[in-house]
Every structure is written in C-alpha cells, then in structure tokens.
C-alpha cells in the first residue's frame, strides 16, 4: 500500500519553508498542546488526523509560531483554516513575479489581498518573509475583527497590514482601491465551488484522498448546516462565502477581471489562483476582452494537488518603467 498524499508535501517552491514531512517532534517543542493530536499512523509515521478541524487549527498555529513568529493566532469555529504550505507557495511565486523589486524595494511593496479571511494567512506570511505591506479585504465583519485581533497581538503587524471591510459583497475592487491607492500586486483565492452540493461532493473526494472512509464520516456530512452557512464538518472549515459562490471560481474571476479594468493604472499586477484547469479558457477569453497587455500563468503543485496563478497587467512598457522609478 502506498502512503497517502498528506504525509508528504512535495514540489513546493524552492524558498518554501515547509519542504518534506512535518517534523512533529520539533513542532511539539514549539507548541506542546499539539502532542495530544499527534499519533502513529498505519505506516508508523507521526501524523495528525487531517479530518479533525481542531487538529488542523493547532497545527497551523504551531507552524505560524515556529516559521513566522506569529503568536496568539486563532480563528472562530467554522471559519476557513487554510493549509500553510500551499498559501506560502502563492507568496513565493508572487515574489518571483515581482522580480528584483522584492529585494531592492521590499519595504515599499504594497499588496492587496482580496478575501483576507479570519486567518489573515497571506499578509502574515508575506510580511514575515518579504517585509511587504498589505491591505486585506473581506465582506465578513467577523473575519475582519478576528484578523485585526491577530494583528493587534503581534508587534509590528498593525503598521504593515491594514484591513478594510467590503460593504458591497458583489464588488471586488470597488470601494477598496481608493483614488490615491497604488498596489504592486493583488492576490486572491476565489471561492472554488459553484454551489453547496458541489462543495459536499468535493469534501467527499478530499476525504477519500486522505484515506478516510465515507461511511465513517457520514454523520459529519449530515451535520453541515446549509441554512446558516456554517460548514463545520469540513476538515479545513469555512463559511459559505469562503468556499462557494454562484458560478464558482469562473464567475468570480470573470467579475474580478471586469472590475480590474477600472483600476488599470493603479496596480502593476492583478493575480488570482485558478484551481481548475478547465477554468483557464474562460479566464483567457475574459482577459482578451479586457484588452490586458500582459498575461502570465504560473504553475504550482503541492503533492498531488495542482493549481496555478494567473497574472495580468494593463501597463505599457513606458508605464512599467515609470512604475519602477
């Protein structure tokens, strides 16, 4: 029997700190409370139950403390608890996209994170790794308040990271990018699923990939509350707005591209994660229709999971020179 994919993190960016298996002995030294979740699996390796939301949260808290010096990190029950290695990869590939400016102008790099969430993962990693300054936005006031609590409890973060509530949920950049705002790059992890039922089907597939029996977890699936949007049965958690929207990622990204045309001169690179390869043709069509001048696709992989970043810019060669100056 081959080992399940969650036991080894492969093909991460070369600068990603989370290469190979988690060293649970070292992690427990950082956060002793993790020890109660670490067990020997069927291959006699130390691991956690990745279907246990609390175990995943404690692991994230420990990774953020050990590798990024973040303390007092927590999220409300039922909110998205993202895998740290994959989120760090997005940051490192964005650094490659920005090129030399990351080393020479790191203190001046400004990033807009669309959907910062209660976890604030991208600003936390981006600031600790590269010294970038962030504006993080969300439509959920609870998420914004929790993210602000994390910032307030870590020295130096409130000076580098600002949070803004998006008061109009259908908007992405409107009300957020103000007249005097300029960003070197925007980033976003769009809602992946197109509906609640699509989300549940994806959850079943995820459990299968983790080697977890559907029969064993039938009760977990039945307790997901569709009416209040709390998806506590998921191993990585998440509110409805974090995980699905009408039309899925294709519709969300199409809206993002349309709105980016309104701020074409206020951002060097617009970027987004695209989880499904099948979404790419529609994204490229939308970018062509928007008359963007540059498009780049950056492939990423974490274990068996493959994803990509699509980046676009409206700046001409002359505007790019002036931007860097």
- Examine residue 223 and state whether it is found in any structural domain, yes or no: no
pLDDT digits (tens, 9 = 90+) for 77-118: 888 889 999 999 999 999 999 985 555 455 689 999 999 999
Which domain, by its residues, includes 99? 78-192+244-324
Is residue 166 assigned to a domain? yes
Percent of the chain with pLDDT over 70: 77
Question: Which percentage of the chain shows pLDDT scores above 90?
Answer: 63
In a domain, 53, yes or no: no
Residue 29's pLDDT band, with cuts at 50, 70 and 90, is very high
Q: Any alpha helices (H) in 153-189, and if so which ranges?
A: 157-160
Round to whole Å and give the CA distance between 109 and 133.
6
Specify the residue for token string 């439509």: 139
Shortest CA distance to 270 belongs to which of 232, 307, 314, 302?
Answer: 314
Whether 186 has a pLDDT exceeding 50, the answer reads yes
In the numeric block, which tokens belong to residue 197?
């039922």
3-state secondary structure of 220: helix
- Non-local CB neighbours of 92 within 8 Å, separated by 6+ positions: 13, 14, 15, 16, 129
How many Cβ atoms are within 10 Å of 213's Cβ, its own excluded?
Answer: 9
Q: Is 51 helix (H, G, I), strand (E, B) or coil?
A: coil
Q: Write down the pLDDT at residue 78.
A: 84
For residue 91, being part of any structural domain is answered with yes
pLDDT at residue number 108: 86
Residue 43 belongs to a domain: no
The reply to whether 111 falls in a domain is yes
What is the total count of domains within the chain? Answer: 1
The C-alpha atoms of residue 82 and residue 162 are separated, in whole angstroms, by 20
Model confidence, pTM: 0.83
Residues 192-235 have pLDDT tens digits of 544 455 545 555 555 455 454 444 443 343 334 444 444 444 44
**Domain for residue 58, yes or no?**
no
**CATH number of the domain bearing residue 183:** 3.40.50.150
CA-nearest of 90, 98, 126, 161 to 313 is: 98
Q: Average pLDDT in the 26-55 region?
A: 92
Tell me whether residue 219 is in a domain: no
Q: What is the spatial distance between Cα 217 and Cα 221, in angstroms, rounded to a whole number? A: 7
Q: What does the DSSP 8-state code read for residue 168?
A: S
Nearest to 114 by CA among 191, 192, 188, 175: 188
Burial group, residue 30, by CB count within 10 angstroms (0-12, 13-18, 19+): middle
Question: Are 221 and 203 a contacting pair, CB within 8 Å?
Answer: yes
Structure token pair of residue 189: 């992890």
> Does the structure show a pLDDT above 50 at 9?
no
CB neighbours of residue 325 within 10 Å: 5
């Amino acid at each position: 029997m081959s080992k399940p994919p969650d036991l080894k993190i492969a093909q991460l960016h070369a600068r990603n700190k989370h290469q190979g298996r988690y060293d649970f002995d070292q992690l427990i030294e950082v956060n002793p409370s993790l020890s109660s979740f670490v067990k020997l699996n069927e291959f006699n390796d130390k691991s956690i139950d990745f279907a246990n939301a609390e175990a995943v949260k404690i692991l994230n808290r420990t990774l953020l403390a050990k590798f990024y010096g973040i303390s007092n990190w927590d999220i409300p029950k039922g909110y998205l608890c993202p895998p740290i290695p994959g989120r760090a990869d997005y940051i490192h590939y964005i650094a490659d996209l920005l090129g030399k400016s990351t080393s020479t102008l790191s203190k001046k790099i400004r990033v807009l994170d669309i959907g910062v969430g209660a976890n604030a993962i991208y600003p936390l990693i981006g600031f600790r790794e590269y010294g970038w300054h962030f504006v993080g936005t969300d439509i959920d006031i609870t998420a914004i308040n929790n993210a602000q609590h994390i910032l307030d409890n870590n020295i130096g973060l409130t000076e580098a990271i600002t949070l803004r509530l998006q008061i109009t949920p259908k908007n992405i950049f409107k009300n957020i990018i103000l007249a005097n705002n300029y960003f070197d790059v925007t980033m976003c992890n769009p809602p992946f699923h197109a509906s609640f039922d699509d989300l549940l089907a994806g959850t079943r597939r995820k459990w299968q990939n983790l080697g977890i029996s559907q029969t064993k977890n039938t009760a977990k699936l039945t307790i997901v509350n569709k009416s209040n949007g709390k998806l506590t049965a998921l191993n990585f958690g998440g509110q409805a707005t974090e995980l699905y929207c009408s039309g899925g990622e294709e519709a969300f990204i199409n809206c993002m591209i349309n709105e980016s045309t309104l701020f074409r001169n206020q951002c060097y690179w617009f970027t987004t994660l695209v989880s499904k390869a099948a979404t790419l043709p529609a994204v490229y069509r939308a970018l062509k229709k928007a008359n963007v001048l540059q498009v780049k696709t950056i492939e990423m992989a974490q274990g068996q999971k493959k994803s990509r970043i699509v980046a676009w810019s409206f700046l001409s060669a002359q505007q790019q020179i002036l931007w860097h100056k």
